[in-house]
Chains A and B, each alone.
Chain A
Amino acid sequence: MNASYFLLILVFSPLVMLLLLLIVPKTERTFIQWFGMIGTLPSLLIALYGYSEVLHGSHLSDWSIKHSWIQFGNISYLQEQLFNIDFEMGANGLSMLMVLLTAVIASMAAIASFKIQKEWKGYTLLFFLLEAGMLGVFTSQNMILFFIFFEVTLIATFFLIGKWGGIARERASYAYLIYNGLGSAILLLVIVYLFVKTGTVNFEKLQFLLAGDGGEMASTISGVAKGWMLAAVLVAFGFKLPAFPLHRWMVKVHVEAPPSVVMLHSGVLLKMGAYGIIRFGLELFPDTFQKASVWILIAGVVNLLFGAFVAFVQTDLKKVLAYSSISHMGIVLLGLGAANEAGIQGAIFQTVSHGFISAFLFLLVGILVYRSNTTDIRKLGGLAKKMPKFSGFLLIAGLASLGLPGLSGFVSEFTAFLGVFEQWPIIGAVASLGVILTAVYVLKAVMDMSFGGLTPLKKTWFDLRKAEWVPAVCLTLMIVVMGVYPSIVSTAIQDSIQSILMGMGG
């Protein structure tokens, strides 16, 4: 079978499932729930297969699709090939890694979605739409296609939060929509500007043109314009990541959205921010990026420390985790800002690792909410007695989050800091404070919940059930494997990092 079909199935099988589901009556609750779970499997299997190919040294160059799609303007008096947008999808090591992250978390979130209480059909439809959007984002080879999938995830998530979320769900979904919509709008301006100046939206071609080898076309883009575009890209994806002062919507979403959606949101959607900074920022404007690296590093430190401090004073587990996510995304910024091999590697590592860890944590939050209906740490305590297995997993996730050696969090933080210290030891030293703070707030939260003062426990507080074991064990495995055997990730992203460094002239 032609490998390009794999790519098609990978991205579009959720959409096919969506269409199939349309004809199922909405009263068939059990069927829809199982269908929602099974529907994510084709993508998962192909993602696993694709990733194993990458690990075996395949470059996935035949995993690509290209069709002519949209032409703008009257071609006859423009050069051929100009103002064409092709339907181009493809995969490399980095995107395959992100695809794997997405596919795994989507399947796990689908299992966690069994706890959804109402309107299963609508939920599952949107869930499939969201998954297809995310997979499309990571496999798009041009900016317009990227943008289209990017917006699909925005719309799907808006509805998922607004309909199935907590009490203040509508406010949260509005905040999500407006902040991210603004980010997308800024991104669109950059895309259109590049498109009208160069006549193409293909990432590779743009990379080539902007590197200065493109002759006349590229020379029309000045250094100043590049600076503005990079700034715009950083702001646009800063909303998504989220970077400090653009983060406010994200806390609302983490608190209000249903836990299964937050698994996808914090596990994958936020990571699109990091992925976007790499694709639009690092790869297209490597020189400018390097010049701006101090500012990015400072933004990273601010994110890291701000998130950690605020997480420390929170009493609601969801908020602790939300601010912890902000803090951890600071490490991504730090790694990227370092703009050297170790730094970028660390940033990508952190992206993936935090994806799994935060998905894991929100899986546990979902389990907890289902039993206790609260995430207030002050009202929880002594969980270890009544729910020992749950507490065990919570501890693992917490330790991974604070970066215990042997778990994925450690590798990513270590590598990222390695990159920072190489060039900016002072910033690195300040940032290290964040790591200590992380240990403090994570341990505080986990300890309070597991071993703190006993709260009157109710009968409904049973320990993990069969269906809950599966995602918990899978995600633990991911975290441990990445921690013990980091080259499972670093092999895949080696090529991407090399090409970025080439662009920087290093």
Chain B
Amino acid sequence: MNESIMDEKWYLMTPEFIVLLAAVIISLLDLFLPKKVNRLVLGWLSVLAVLAGGIVLLLFSGVDSASILYGTFQLDAFAKAFKLILMIGVLLILLMSMHKGEENGSENVRGEYFYLLLTALLGAMMLSSSGDLITLFVGLELLAVSSYILAGIKKDDIRSNEAALKYVVNGGISTAITLFGMSYLYGVTGTTNLAKMGEALSGVYDSGLQLLLGISFLLILVGLAFKTATVPFHMWVADVYEGAPAAVTAFLSAVSKTAGFILLLRLLAGIFAAAPSKGLTSVSMLTDMRMYIAALAAAAMIIGTLGALRQRNIKRMLAYSSIVHGGYLLGAVASLSIFMMDTIWFYLLTYTLMTIGTFVIIQWVIMQTKSNDISGFAGLYQRSPWTAGTLGILLLSLAGIPGTAGFIAKLKIIMSLLVQDNSLWWLAIIMIVATVVSYVYYFGIFIQVFFRKEEQILKDRLSFGGKLALCIAVAATVLFGILPNIPLDYFQHYFGS
């Protein structure tokens, strides 16, 4: 074969190219624009770039799956579906960052904030499209390194520094563990290509290799617990969420978690589902190992719930709640049901919308009260009934109350857990109990917002970008809660299979 590099179908990477180009241009602009020019311009440029990338991605929804560069980059239904969530998430985060305040860094909004978000997005997008361990890892690290810097972007804030440091150290350890697990995979199969790896594994049922594969599976799973912010690598979550600026916290909570699950699905569900555990006819390795995933899910739900109950710091509370949500999602992975893919997709979509929406308001309150304590929300209803109302809807959705998208998402997970066999009924019960207990901390915020008297006077108005992000988040949360088939049909039609 004599293919030149130009024969590749490069257009499949258009969304990535747009984001990459924007990141480059913005970093150059940031370098050369005079100091007095407001860096918010760069923010709006990023918004445009992500929007354009997203539109191209939507145009691709009907295109058949294809791969380029010897299968290292795939644009299949899976990649498209999950990239969409990533782009929506980053778009909302960019919108919520469009204000003049110190949340993005110092007094002046800083340019690197925006292009770091873009590079992080690029990493996550590569991750979801990669068909090779190498690209997978590079995507993962691009996302991770950008996130480390974002967590510490408030240079003068000691908490932000601490967050960044903790994030780097924990991230480094988890990366090492993941990589170690991946090396076993390479050792057993002799290839880094995920598709070939699957083929190689489907022929492997030698008992010695099973052990190695099992170790590899567990190492990767544990390493990924960091990215998905679940047990056992959850210790960093609360500290980093607390220290990082609210918009970055939203990013870590929504986009980073989504990326983690993309990786989990690509690697574990993609490869280990093909490997038979004992004989040729036996169940797959993944089915064999699902109890470990289920155990992690249960641990995440329990530890997260117990942690959230004790918090009075709103960001820490949401950090633990994010661990719980990670647990729910792991539960869906463990179920391995026919509903697994669309369940996880819908949950991540919903979770992205409602978390970022919540953080828009949290950011707004924190910027004015200069404190993370939930008492900062006292009397929000008096001051701004509409904001309080939208916060109410988003929190109800996080708690999984019917009428919101969060309910449908949870319902789908419980269905997934029970649909094929009943072996995970206990996980469904833990999930239900965790949900009920979660009412305590979510409704604790309600008590502040609706029942308590105003303590601090909030004067500033929500920025235009913040309002826009909030409107999108709330409208989608309500719409998807009442008519969940709008996104679900879309998923089934274009991405299902």
Contact = CB atoms under 8 A, between A and B. Distances in A.
Verify that A and B bind, or say they do not.
Answer: yes
Interface of A: 69-75, 77-78, 83, 122, 144, 147-148, 150-152, 154-155, 158-159, 162-163, 169-170, 174, 177-178, 181-182, 185-186, 188-189, 192-193, 195-197
Contacts of A158: 443, 446
Contacts of B180: none
A162 B451 contact: yes
A478 B407 CA distance: 39
Interface in B475-497: 483-485, 488-489, 492, 496-497
A413 B369 CA distance: 59
Contact of B451 (A147, A151, A163, A185): A163
B439 interface: yes
B60 interface: no
B419 interface: yes
Interface of B: 338-339, 342, 381, 396, 401-403, 407-408, 411-412, 414-415, 418-419, 428-429, 432-433, 435-436, 439-440, 443, 446-447, 450-451, 483-485, 488-489, 492, 496-497
Contacts, number: 87
B440 A155 contact: no
A396 to B, nearest CB: 37
B440 A178 contact: yes
Given A71-B488, A74-B492, A195 B415 contact: yes
Shortest 6 CB-CB contacts between residues of A and residues of B: A148-B402, A196-B419, A185-B432, A151-B402, A181-B436, A196-B418
A328 to B, nearest CB: 28
B403 to A, nearest CB: 6
Contact of A189 (B396, B419, B428): B428
B408 A152 contact: no
Given A78-B338, A83-B415, A189-B428, 6 more contacts: A151-B401, A152-B403, A181-B436, A188-B414, A189-B429, A197-B418
21 contacts: A71-B489, A72-B415, A73-B339, A73-B342, A74-B338, A74-B342, A74-B496, A148-B407, A151-B402, A155-B401, A158-B446, A162-B446, A162-B450, A162-B451, A174-B440, A178-B436, A185-B436, A186-B432, A192-B411, A192-B418, A192-B428
A70 B405 CA distance: 12
A69 B396 CA distance: 22
B403 A148 contact: yes
A70 B485 CA distance: 6
Nearest to A195: B415
A155 B414 contact: no
Given A162-B447, A195-B415, A151 B436 contact: no
A147 B403 CA distance: 10
A157 to B, nearest CB: 13
DSSP majority for the B interface?
Answer: helix
B432 A188 contact: yes
Q: Which of A122, A150, A182 counts the most B-chain CB atoms under 10 A from its CB?
A: A182
A139 to B, nearest CB: 16
Given A71-B488, A151-B403, A182 B436 contact: yes
A408 to B, nearest CB: 34
A174 B342 CA distance: 34
Contacts of A159: 446, 450
A73 B338 contact: yes
A189 B415 CA distance: 9
B482 to A, nearest CB: 9
B415 A177 contact: no
Given A74-B338, A74-B342, A158-B443, A192 B415 contact: yes
A147 B411 CA distance: 11
Given A70-B484, A72-B415, A189 B432 contact: yes
B418 A193 contact: yes
B389 to A, nearest CB: 10
Q: Which of B342, B401, B408 counts the most A-chain CB atoms under 10 A from its CB?
A: B401
A28 B488 CA distance: 43
A394 B483 CA distance: 48
Q: Which of B411, B428, B429 counts the most A-chain CB atoms under 10 A from its CB?
A: B411
Contacts of B339: 72-73
A178 B437 CA distance: 7
B451 A178 contact: no
B412 A72 contact: yes
A504 B435 CA distance: 36
Contacts of A196: 415, 418-419
A169 B452 CA distance: 12
Contacts of A70: 408, 484-485, 488
A309 B488 CA distance: 54
Q: Which of A73, A148, A162 counts the most B-chain CB atoms under 10 A from its CB?
A: A73
A45 B459 CA distance: 46
A364 B381 CA distance: 32
Contacts of A185: 432-433, 435-436
B444 to A, nearest CB: 9
Contacts of B492: 74-75
B439 A181 contact: yes
A192 B433 CA distance: 15
A225 B420 CA distance: 16
A394 to B, nearest CB: 33
Given A159-B450, A162-B450, A185-B436, A192 B338 contact: no
Contacts of A181: 436, 439
Nearest to B412: A72
Contact of A74 (B419, B433, B451, B497): B497
B447 A170 contact: yes
Contacts of A192: 411, 414-415, 418, 428
A71 B342 contact: no
Contacts of B401: 151, 154-155
Contacts of A72: 339, 412, 415, 488
A272 to B, nearest CB: 15
A189 B403 CA distance: 18
A72 B339 CA distance: 8
Contacts of B418: 192-193, 196-197
A293 B224 CA distance: 51
A155 B396 contact: yes
Contacts of B443: 158, 174, 177
A185 B435 CA distance: 8
B81 to A, nearest CB: 13
A233 to B, nearest CB: 15
Contacts of B488: 70-72
B448 to A, nearest CB: 11
Nearest to A149: B402
Nearest to B481: A148
A339 B383 CA distance: 55
Nearest to A121: B385
Nearest to A225: B422
A83 B447 CA distance: 37
B436 to A, nearest CB: 5
Contacts of B338: 73-74, 77-78
Contacts of A182: 436
A257 to B, nearest CB: 14
Nearest to A184: B436
A181 B429 CA distance: 14
B392 to A, nearest CB: 9
Nearest to B489: A71
A89 to B, nearest CB: 15
A75 B338 CA distance: 11
A151 B432 CA distance: 14
A181 B492 CA distance: 32
Nearest to B338: A73
